[in-house]
Amino acid sequence: MPRKKNQTDDAEHTQQAGGAHAGASLLALREAVTEITANISKVIDEKLSPLSELFKIHREELDRHDKRITEAEQRISALEDATDLVDGKIEALEKMVCELSERADDLENRGRRKNIRIVGLPEEAEGDDPTRFFETWLPQLLHIETKSGRVKLERAHRSLAPKPPTTQRPRPVLVRFHNYQDKQHVMNAAWEVGRKNQALKHEDATVMIFQDFSASVLRRRKGYDAVKKQLRALGTDYRLIYPASLRVTCHGSTKVFHVPAAVEKYAQSLKETLREDV
């Protein structure tokens, strides 16, 4: 019995010694892990610290850019609002200028209502007293009957351009009548001559008589030149009416056109009709 007891005591002692050794090993392992973890953290901190500083710098720079962009957007928005306001004012001013130009042009043409323009008359044909010359020349040229054989004029003169050489076209003559009715009588007689495809002649020169208009109206009326040639070729009667419309009469039907393109389309339809009839 004593021997067995001694064996038991030895086993317990051995077990206690083993447990103490294992505890010491575990503690050492924990300390090693802690030290390794601390070292790793230190290394990571050392590596990340410059990156963190760099990120901070970039973040501050981005914040500054964001602030500038916001300020720029606000300024752009303010400029757009101001531009919209200015655009509205410009549009209103353009409309006003257009209206004023139309009024001025209308007033100018009203001032020219008693004027005619004579084209093709040779230089110096009117002599030293143009007004007196045209007072009798116009009724004779157009075979107009008047009480005294003359029409009363306020003035007559060549355009203010320099006198051209004899090889060039003569300057047009501007004639202003005393009475609008006399001017209209002359224009109607001249139009009737043109309608009959006849020519007004002064000696060997062909003379044409036109109503005197502003430059703006003349440009608009000149836009019909090409289509008028087509209408003449078709034997169609036409007449320009103030300010710049074309009245066309064909087969007893009269139409008024306000733009050359519309007359062009109408002339094409007349050509097609003539082809079908043939």
Average pLDDT of the segment spanning 256-276: 90
CA distance 78 to 111: 49
Predicted pLDDT at 115: 98
pLDDT for 130: 97
Cα four-point dihedral sign 249, 255, 261, 266? negative
User: Does residue 213 contact residue 113 with C-beta atoms inside 8 Å?
Assistant: no
Task: Give the separation between CA 157 and CA 128, rounded to whole angstroms.
Answer: 10
229 pLDDT more than 80? yes
Indicate the range of 3-12, 251-260, 266-275 predicted with least confidence: 3-12
Give the tens place of pLDDT for each residue, 159-217.
999 999 989 999 999 999 999 999 999 999 999 998 888 999 999 999 999 999 999 99
Sheet containing strand 153-158, edge to edge, reads 153-158, 173-177, 115-119, 205-211, 200-202
Instruction: Give the residue, 270 or 47, on which the prediction is more confident.
Output: 270
Q: Are 29 and 35 in contact (CB under 8 A)?
A: no
Using one digit for the tens of pLDDT, what is the confidence trace for 61-80? 999 999 999 999 999 999 88
Rounded to an integer, the average pLDDT of 105-133 is 96
pLDDT value of position 41 = 80
Mean residue pLDDT of the chain comes to 88
Selected residue with higher pLDDT from 3 and 203: 203
